[in-house]
Amino acid sequence: MGVISTVLGFSGFGFGFSAGIVIGYFIFIYVQPSDVKDVKVRPLMEYDSKSLEGILPEIPMWVKNPDYDRIDWLNRFVELMWPFLDKAICRMAQDIAKPIIAENTAKYKIDSVEFESLTLGSLPPTFQGMKVYVTEEQELIMEPSVKWAANPNVTVVVKAYGLKATVQIVDLQVFASPRITLKPLVPTFPCFAKILVSLMEKPHVDFGLKLLGADLMAIPGLYRFVQETIKKQVASMYLWPKTLEVAIMDPSKATKKPVGILLVKVVRAQNLRKKDLLGKSDPYVKLKMSDDKLPSKKTTVKRSNLNPEWNEDFKIVVTDPENQALEINVGKHERMGMNSIPLKELPPDETKVTTVNLLKTMDPNDVQNEKSRGQLTLELTYKPFKEEDMEQEGTEGGDVIEKAPDGTPAGGGLLHVIVHEAQDLEGKHHTNPYAKIIFKGEEKKTKVIKKNRDPRWEDEFQFVCEEPPVNDKLHVEVLSKAPKKGLIHGKETLGYIDVSLADVISNKRINEKYHLIDSKNGQIQIELQWRTS
């Protein structure tokens, strides 16, 4: 009976199991619940905040805040580059840590501290969005929202007093909102001189710390203590307005700012060649610094004189004394002769009297230069900036106003003008804008930007003043240059402004946008600096 009951039991179980599967299959296929409804698709804007939090537990910043831009392309780029960035960052961290470890091992009598493994894991940081600020200064400000849930493997082996301890960092989480400022913007690659980084709020940092395989963060009270300590230490160093400054290049070299003034006295010329039909000439001298777009300085014209004396003084701004040269031309269209004097041949703060031979061309192989064309006598004095002023500028950044170089008139100074950009310009027949600056009769022009209603010049000019121009005005006029084929329509005036310099003298610097007079919507941004010695 026992055998029979066992066989019947197994047979009943097999029949019941098989029948159950078949019946359940047909019920699942042919019986549909009556309470199932179609899913309603609704735009996210129709949901309230609580419903959104239920649907999307982690909402990106570009969804919550319209000031933030979506930057999926950057996340994709970081994801593809992460294996290489991981190795590069870890190698850099080891290089930074080596001297620090070497300094402290002897101090605390530790035998050695070595990285057994160092990798940031396979999960790259994610940028939830980025906010970009537009300012009137030469800078770019970005505020990314960064979240990083990493799986690093950082294992450090410490040996001391014959013992060996292994410390491991795992499960790292970092949430931060840094502010990254690129300033000043310069016309030399990578187009910014410094990177300034600061945190807009205390970061969230969470990680696991294991010692000899045991999780130290499980100790009561230690986790909160470590969290608060990290936040306080990071905030004390980098919480805004404190910043981490990374120098990329010397801003003075990148922007070719004035580093000195060349004092030139045109004394006399001798034995000039006759150019007129009657055997006479009307000579004058033009002076210009090489690689300088500013107009040439000119002496007066000496009528019917082949041995003229001028004794006229000029001040020329120097930006690169190692590579620049003073270009000299005598006569209209340089018909009487030319030459150049490299600035590196002039000792600083010393007056040098030199007489140069006038040449036909600056080609050293030109046989025409062997003919005598006369001589020109000059007194040259190069006055560089004081070294302490240059150091002050380098340490405090681009917000410090440079001092005028030695040689600036006592009681006077240097008016530095930067024409940044214009917006919403509109000409009647063409829009090829350039700006013309007039100060005390001296006229200077920016470059021409063709077919552009929003030109950006970033051109700089200097005016040497005998006294502070408190009661003077700077006239700035924006014009449109006629195209080459513009035989009917000539140049057009797009607007102008007159800037009172009293505020510049008292404040040392202003950087503002001005509405152009005689323009419907045009604006121009100009920066003015008053530099004294």
Q: Both tokens of residue 518?
A: 């005689």
Q: Both tokens of residue 202?
A: 């205390």
219 shares a domain with 195: yes
For 177-198, the three-class secondary structure string (H helix, E strand, C coil) is: CEEEEEEEECCCCCCEEEEEEE
How many angstroms separate the CA atoms of 393 and 400, rounded? Answer: 6
For 450-516, the three-class secondary structure string (H helix, E strand, C coil) is: CCCCCCEEEEEEEEEECCCCCCCEEEEEEEECCCCCCCCCCCEEEEEEEEECHHHHHHCEEEEEEEC
- For the chain, how big is the Rg over CA atoms in Å? 37
Which residues in 358-455 belong to E strands, given as ranges?
Answer: 375-384, 413-423, 433-439, 442-445
Which residues in 239-304 belong to E strands, given as ranges?
Answer: 244-247, 260-270, 285-289, 297-298
How many angstroms separate the CA atoms of 198 and 240, rounded? Answer: 5
380 shares a domain with 447: no
Residue 25 carries which side chain, given as an amino acid letter?
A: Y
Please give the chain's pLDDT, 533 residues, in tens. 555 665 555 566 565 666 666 666 666 666 656 665 666 777 766 777 667 666 665 666 666 677 788 888 888 998 999 889 888 888 888 888 888 777 777 777 777 878 888 888 888 988 888 888 877 777 888 888 888 888 888 888 888 777 777 878 777 888 888 888 888 887 777 778 888 888 888 888 777 777 766 677 667 777 777 777 777 777 777 777 788 888 877 766 666 667 788 888 999 888 887 766 555 778 888 888 887 766 778 888 888 888 888 888 888 888 788 888 888 888 765 578 888 889 888 888 888 889 888 888 888 777 777 788 888 899 998 888 665 444 444 433 444 455 555 455 556 788 889 999 999 998 888 889 999 999 988 889 999 998 899 998 888 888 888 888 888 899 999 999 888 765 677 888 999 999 999 888 888 888 888 999 988 889 999 999 888 76
Task: Confirm whether 360 is domain-assigned.
Answer: yes
125 shares a domain with 66: yes
317 in helix, strand or coil?
Answer: strand
Give the pLDDT confidence score for residue 438 in this predicted structure. Answer: 92
Burial of 39 (0-12, 13-18, 19+ CB in 10 A): exposed
447 shares a domain with 364: no
Peptide bond into 184 cis (omega under 30): yes
CATH number of domain containing 527: 2.60.40.150
**Residues near 507 by beta carbon (within 8 Å), at least 6 away in sequence:** none
Sign of CA dihedral 202, 204, 209, 214: positive
How many angstroms separate the CA atoms of 406 and 238, rounded? Answer: 39
186 shares a domain with 322: no
Specify the pairing of strand 126-133 against strand 140-150.
antiparallel
Peptide bond into 57 cis (omega under 30): no
Q: Contact 372/269 with Cβ under 8 angstroms?
A: no
Give the pLDDT confidence score for residue 435 in this predicted structure. Answer: 93
Task: Confirm whether 24 is domain-assigned.
Answer: no
Q: How far is CA 247 from CA 197, 244, 375, 441, in A?
A: 12, 10, 48, 41
User: What is the enclosing helix (H) or strand (E) of 266?
Assistant: strand 260-270
241 shares a domain with 278: no
Give the pLDDT confidence score for residue 523 in this predicted structure. Answer: 92
How many angstroms separate the CA atoms of 433 and 455, rounded? Answer: 7
How many angstroms separate the CA atoms of 478 and 437, rounded? Answer: 9
Give the pLDDT confidence score for residue 397 in this predicted structure. Answer: 41
159 shares a domain with 217: yes
136 shares a domain with 216: yes
Q: Contact 343/287 with Cβ under 8 angstroms?
A: no
pTM for this entry: 0.52
281 shares a domain with 227: no
Last residue of a domain, one of 330, 354, 384: 384
Task: Confirm whether 3 is domain-assigned.
Answer: no
171 shares a domain with 288: no
Task: Confirm whether 236 is domain-assigned.
Answer: yes
Cα angle, residue 268 at apex, residues 265 and 272 outer, rounded to 5°: 135
Q: Both tokens of residue 161?
A: 């007093």
Burial of 330 (0-12, 13-18, 19+ CB in 10 A): buried
325 shares a domain with 272: yes
221 shares a domain with 338: no
How many angstroms separate the CA atoms of 449 and 443, rounded? Answer: 19
Last residue of a domain, one of 199, 227, 251: 251
Task: Confirm whether 52 is domain-assigned.
Answer: no
- Of the candidates 204, 220, 145, the one whose C-alpha atom is nearest the C-alpha of residue 180 is 145
The alpha-helical segments, DSSP class H, found in 248-296 are 251-255
Structurally, the chain folds into a number of domains equal to 3
Give the pLDDT confidence score for residue 399 in this predicted structure. Answer: 47
Task: State which residues form the domain around 291.
Answer: 260-384
Task: Confirm whether 20 is domain-assigned.
Answer: no
CB atoms within 10 A of CB 343: 21
Task: Confirm whether 40 is domain-assigned.
Answer: no
Last residue of a domain, one of 349, 384, 419: 384
410 in helix, strand or coil?
Answer: coil
Task: Confirm whether 21 is domain-assigned.
Answer: no
